[in-house]
A and B are shown apart, each in its own frame.
Chain A
Amino acid sequence: MTGQSGLSWIDILVILIYLIATGYLGWLGYRGTRSAADFLVGGRTVHPIIMAVSYGATFISTAAIVGFGGVAGLFGMSLLWLTFLNIGVGIFIAFVFLGEPTRRMGHRLGAHTFGELLGLRYQSRAVQIFAGALIFLFMPLYSAAVMTGGSIFAATQFGIDFEVALLIFALITAAYVVPGGLKAVMYTDTLQGFVMILAMFFLLWFTYSQLGGIGEAHRYLTGMADMVPAKLQAIGHQGWTEMPAFGWGAIQYNLWYIVVTTIILGVGIGVLAQPQLAVRFMTVRSRRELDRAVPIGAVFIMLMTGAPFIVGSLSNAWFAQHGPLLHGTVETMINADSDGDSDRAMVALRRANDAGAWVPILGKDDKPAVVPLVISTREQVHDNAGESFELVSGRSSIITYVKGQADRIIPTYISTAMPHWFGIVFFLALLAAAMSTMSSQFHTIGTSAGRDLYEQITHKPHGSEPSLLAMRLAVIVGLLVAVTISYTVREGYVIARFTAIFFGLCAAAFMPAYIGGLFFKGVTRTGALASMSVGFGISAFWLLFIKAKEASAIGLVQLVTGGKPSLLADVPNWPVVDPIVVALPLSTLTLIIVSAFTRKPDDDHLVQCFSKQNEARSLRQRLDSTF
């Protein structure tokens, strides 16, 4: 892996300019209006660009860029379907169809957390406590994904150990989050959003121009299909510009189900039921502001997810053309080129030892590491015993350089291919993006613990001192749990997997009750609670006993099956299917069936939830209950 350390004067200048600009905007924000709620209180309009970019910056973080960009480097451009859903579902459907009903209902009911919105809509403490508990318990998984992404990037960019980077990252987060930096300052969010936009434009332009333009870059990547690692080929990887092989009942279709069900559907649809997203809608001033945020949000998300997915995939082509040279001996030819200057072969890697002899590089299993190489030169050299042999030199896909660790792909590409100053700017923007995302996450954890759990269980009023203490403690506990998860779990593409688990869980448990509650008066309290229980129960069962990667990591399934990683280990494909595919339809069905046979909410409550004319009465009722 290529790490860089040491700062030149230009790096220091870039850092200083960035910090001064951020500090100045932060100071401006703290002097006056700083958050969306402040703008709303003051009755002022937020410029739609500031609204949309600060909104996007809250949700886009290291998880999307480092985690999912890395997965695209591993699995290819099929991940662009996720970008398509991010724009079509996460922006268009969310803003156009869910934003205004959420905002209106949240304001009328006086809801300030996602759990409170559901609880007040269904007049049920149980619903609120259930939602709050789920968010409090599982949101740290998503925070861990963001933290891991930032730490891996810092480790690669500055050439330090992951553990050191994680420690620094955790301390910065604690310093930012614990003393009260939880509140997003819109101007600084917007600045880092713009830095990210410029960085993504530069990243795309640089990558395409280095590879000869859009068509040429894609064609070269397509031609590298025979360099896909054998392990990935075995599960259906057909090349970085192809969808994985589709079918059912054989291991060679596994990748299709990983990409489509976990990565694309789990995250692409799960975004609709994200608790922070729903609460963010409530901070919007009006329907007009939501409409105006759609185009900017779409452009922002296209760049923030599309660019890393394209660049992640193309980083394989860049490394095959410009990456550091690797050396070794040919094991088998993959593809002999007619003019002999770009033969491809499986090569057993070697390195020159101190004495100048070429010795094998051993892999994890203590056997010589064999990787696909685009051969550029051949020469006769000697080994340890003085025997002469042909040494080939060449380059490989980025997967070889990062030893198959997807989470290292984007950081390695940026630290190797891009100018160092760009890596610094990119890191600072990522750090800021991670901070604003984690602010939002820990804010959600804190308010869920305080308002949804503590206040509902103990019947304490809003804002009481013990409740505030519960919120603050929850933030600290959430932070410690997230750091522990980041430190402990490192294998595979954990950033994307953690994100997908949280998004999928939210979708299955919350989405039917949330959307049903916004649009259908006939949805009942029992129906909502049953739907949430079924969605969560099936997801949890699936993660514990069926989905092999997660189940085997948790370890419970081995006790039941005598060592197998899944209850369905002998049935191909099921162990890689995401729980959302089963849990979401069943929780939706449960909501419909149970609501049909249980007592409907009373009319007065429905009027308060849905009628425009009832706002004054709702306000009076709320004020009455407060004082």
Chain B
Amino acid sequence: MLGIPDPWVAVAYLGCILMTIVSLIYGLMRRNAAPDEVTPIDRDWAIEERKTDHDL
């Protein structure tokens, strides 16, 4: 298969492509499925994170 005689290596080669396709399908199916809201907690966290970055 693909000029690769060892099925374990051929499966890895095709598995990488397959796993990428699975990820693509997942992303397309879920692209608007989850909520997209920023809570005050999230914002508060980001402000402190930015401050830490800035200080460092």
Contact = CB atoms under 8 A, between A and B. Distances in A.
Interface of A: 35, 37-38, 40-41, 43, 45, 76-78, 80-81, 83-84, 87-88, 91-92, 96, 100, 106-108, 110, 112, 180, 182-183, 214-219, 221-222, 241-243, 282-283, 285-299, 302, 306, 443, 446-447, 450-451, 462-463, 468, 471-472, 475, 615-616, 618-619, 622
Q: What are the nearest 3 A-B pairs in CB distance?
A: A218-B3, A295-B27, A298-B23
Contacts of B34: 100, 286-288, 290-291
B50 A83 contact: no
A132 B53 CA distance: 17
Interface in B1-34: 2-6, 8-9, 12-13, 15-17, 19-20, 22-24, 26-28, 30-34
Given A180-B56, A287-B36, A462-B52, 13 more contacts: A40-B42, A40-B45, A41-B47, A80-B16, A87-B23, A183-B54, A218-B2, A285-B42, A288-B31, A291-B31, A296-B27, A447-B56, A616-B40
Contact of A291 (B19, B22, B30, B44): B30
A43 B4 contact: no
A106 B46 CA distance: 11
A546 B18 CA distance: 37
11 contacts: A112-B45, A112-B48, A112-B49, A180-B56, A183-B53, A217-B3, A288-B32, A291-B31, A295-B28, A298-B24, A463-B52
Contacts of A298: 19-20, 23-24
A217 B2 CA distance: 9
Contacts of A106: 45
Interface residues of B, number: 47
Nearest to B49: A37
Contacts of B56: 180, 182, 443, 446-447, 450, 468, 471-472, 475
A577 B33 CA distance: 43
A41 B22 contact: no
Among B8, B23, B43, max chain A CB count under 10 A is at B23
Contacts of B19: 84, 87-88, 92, 298, 302
A222 B36 contact: no
Contact of B37 (A76, A242, A286): A286
Contacts of A618: 41
B4 A306 contact: no
Contact of B16 (A221, A295, A302): A302
B20 A96 contact: no
A106 B41 CA distance: 10
A80 B11 CA distance: 9
B36 A285 contact: yes
A308 to B, nearest CB: 13
Contacts of A91: 23
Interface of B: 2-6, 8-9, 12-13, 15-17, 19-20, 22-24, 26-28, 30-56
Nearest to B29: A291
B43 A40 contact: yes
Most B CB atoms within 10 A — which of A92, A287, A298, A618? A298
Contacts of B33: 288, 291
Given A243-B9, A298-B20, A37 B3 contact: no
A84 B19 CA distance: 7
Contacts of A463: 51-52, 55
A291 to B, nearest CB: 4
A615 B36 contact: no
B8 A78 contact: yes
A78 B3 contact: no
A270 to B, nearest CB: 18
A216 B4 CA distance: 10
B53 A37 contact: yes
B27 A292 contact: yes
Given A40-B38, A87-B23, A447 B52 contact: yes
A282 B49 contact: yes
A447 B32 CA distance: 34
Contact of B12 (A38, A78, A616, A619): A78
A35 B26 CA distance: 26
B51 A41 contact: no
B20 A107 contact: no
A84 B6 contact: no
Given A45-B36, A241-B6, A615-B41, A40 B24 contact: no
A447 B45 CA distance: 15
Contacts of B22: 92
A306 B9 CA distance: 13
Of listed B4, B8, B27, B30, residue having the most chain A CB within 10 A: B27
A215 B26 CA distance: 30
A122 B13 CA distance: 41
Contact of A615 (B4, B26, B39): B39
B27 A222 contact: no
A87 B47 CA distance: 32
A110 B36 contact: no
A217 B4 CA distance: 10
A218 B38 CA distance: 50
Nearest to B55: A468
A43 B9 contact: no
Nearest to B48: A112
A214 B27 CA distance: 29
A80 B12 contact: yes
Contact of A242 (B5, B24, B41): B5
Contacts of A180: 56
Given A182-B56, A294-B27, A298-B20, A214 B3 contact: yes
Contacts of A108: 41
A299 B31 contact: no
